[in-house]
Structure 1
Amino acid sequence: MPLRLPPLPALRFFEAAGRHQSFKLAAAELNVTPSAVSHGIVGLEQALGVELFVREPRGISLTVTGADYLSYVAEAFSLIAIGTQRLPNHRADRPIALSCAPTFASRWLLPRLAGFRARWPKLNVSVDTSHRQVGFPVDGFDFAIRLSRAPVAGSAWTRLFGERLVPVCSPAYLESLRGAHGNIELRHATLIHVNAASEDWQTWLDATGADGIETAGGLRVDTIQLAFEAACMGLGVALGRRPLVDSDLASGALVEACSTTVASTTAYWLVSAESADSRPELFDFKRWLVSEAEPFDMRSAATEPGSRSASN
């Protein structure tokens, strides 16, 4: 007797909505309307005779039954994806798919991809900077680069490097902060904050012991890239994140407003499915990326003269 399965489109809606905890984000990922996702899941709940989500004015959450069912559905889709990838000629001309943050992509990854292409000219790379969650291998991604304090269970995590935090601003703005005795007075600066950053000015201030600097005001932006651009325009002092800010420091567009650097408690990690190393092209890309990152990882190296490390 053939297996009786729920409607497969509805299961796809359920898996995406459960992973994102949002009908809207699931709809954006699947290129359908939120209404279609909602109606599909209602139909699935009716077919199964159970409630999969708790619907509240501020959003949705999985029920206990829904969370348990999601683990089976997600595993089933993963198996289908893995089986599809192993079909003969399935990977022919398929690019290596990578998800990462836009600032990391533009300031660190893209400038190095020419070197990868020179060594492996037949391998193409697709970079996605949409900030969406990635499920391996269901979403079609091979790798993701994520900022985290530690690896998360369920995927293979390889450390790339941590950031070093240092105040930066334009040369002209730095001169405006110079006091009567020639000293730079950060307490008079407009601080540029990144709203979404897990570590920002308070992290640097706590680690350095600097006092008299007010963090409540200042300019607030939503990306690291915007913070660097605002600093280049002379709008204030941003918290530079080395090596992402290195190109601006090298060109002179930005200068250090204080020489004291602080090691971040987070690091960039290369994340992949457990089976990624079995594919030669993915193994080569991973090995190349880790080798490119190695000179920037200060975890085991001594900090620079005059620098301080934040405790982990």
Structure 2
Amino acid sequence: MPLRLPPLPALRFFEAAGRHQSFKLAAAELNVTPSAISHGIVGLEEALGVELFVREPRGISLTATGADYLSYVSEAFSLIAIGTQRLPNHRADRPIALSCAPTFASRWLLPRLAGFRARWPTVNVSVDTSHRQVGFPVDGFDFAIRMSRAPVAGTAWTRLFGERFVPVCSPAYLATLRDERGALSLQRATLIHVNAASEDWQAWLDATGADAIETSGGLRVDTIQLAFEAASMGLGVALGRKPLVDSDLASGALVEACAQTVAAGTAYWLVSAEQADSAIRRPELADFKRWLVDEAARFDADVAVADAVADTVPDGHVETNR
């Protein structure tokens, strides 16, 4: 007797909604309406006779049964994706698909891609900067670049480089932070926060001993790029992330409001599927990974030299806590 399977479209809806913990994000990924996702999952729950999600006013979450079922469904879709990639006539000349954050893409990756293209002119690269969780290999991505404190189980992680925090603002705004004696104080500043990294300012203040600065107020934005733009417009002081802020500092659009830099607890990692063997059939994947890791290592070494030079320059003109 053949196995009775639930409706496959509904399973696809469930896998995406479970991965994102959101009907809206699942709908955007699958190019359908949130209502279609919701109705599909209701039908799946009725067919299975179990509740897969807890619906609450502020969102959804998987039930214990739903979380357990998701692990099986995700593995099944992964096996289908891997099997499809292994078909003899499956396109092996498709672009290398990479997912990363938009600020990282525009400020670090894209300026270096010309070097990759010069060495491998026939290899195309597709960069996706949408804010969504990537499932390997179901979503068709070969790599993702993610910021994290440590690797996450289930995928292969290679560390690229870390970041350093430094307060930045426009040159004109910097002048407003000086008192009548000419001393510079961040207590006068409006702090610009990034919602997804709201703890960064506190981490910098704790590391530098600037405990008299209030972090609860200020301006809040949803991306690092917006924080840098707000700072360049004179709206306050943003916490710059080296290397992402380097181009603004080099152009003079932003200046360091304080020369004290602090190493971030997170780093950029190159992520790929653990079990995928597509690099054997697509050697360009191995070439791209090796190139990207080499670029990151070269960049990291340059930063270490620059930091060592900066540490030899005395800095006594900034007051951070009085």
Give the TM-score taking structure 2 as reference length: 0.89
Residues paired across the two proteins, number: 306
User: Any stretches of 5+ residues in structure 2 without a counterpart?
Assistant: 314-322
Listed as ranges, the matches of 1:190-229 within 5 Å are 190-197=190-197, 199-229=199-229
Q: Say whether 1:141 aligns with 2:141.
A: yes
8 Å Cα contact 1:199/1:264 also seen in 2: no
Aligned to 1:286: 289
Contact 1:100 1:128 in 2 (8 A): yes
Deviations 1:94-121 (A, max 9, x none): 1111111111111111111111111111
Q: 2:168 aligns to what?
A: 168
Q: Distance in 2 between matches of 1:2 and 1:225?
A: 54
Which deviates the most, 267-276 or 211-220?
Answer: 211-220
The separation in 1 between residues aligned to 2:49 and 2:187, in whole angstroms, is: 62
Residue 59 of structure 1: aligned partner:
59
**In angstroms, what is the RMSD of aligned CA positions?**
2.0
Q: Any unmatched runs of 5+ in structure 1?
A: 308-312
Report the equivalent of 2:317. none
Query: How many percent of aligned residue pairs carry the same amino acid?
Result: 86
1:146-161 equivalence runs, <5 A? 146-161=146-161
Distance 2:214 2:181 in 1: 22
Of the structure 1 ranges 85-94 and 203-212, higher mean CA displacement relative to structure 2 is found in 85-94
Contact 1:163 1:267 in 2 (8 A): yes
8 A Cα contact 1:260 1:306, kept in partner: no
Pick closer, same or farther for the CA change 1:234–1:78 going to 2, 3 Å: same
Question: What is the letter of the counterpart of residue 295 of structure 1?
Answer: R
1:273 aligns with 2:270: no
Query: Counterpart of 1:68 in 2: which secondary structure?
Result: helix
Question: Match for residue 38 of structure 1?
Answer: 38
C-alpha offsets along residues 136-156 of structure 1, whole Å, 9 cap, x if unaligned? 000111111111110010000
Q: Distance in 1 between the 2:295 and 2:16 partners?
A: 34
Q: Distance in 2 between matches of 1:237 and 1:52?
A: 45
Check the 8 A contact 1:144/1:271 in 2, yes or no: yes
**Bigger helix share:** 2
Question: 1:310: which partner in 2?
Answer: none
Which residue does 2:124 correspond to in 1? Answer: 124
The amino acid across from 2:179 in the alignment is G
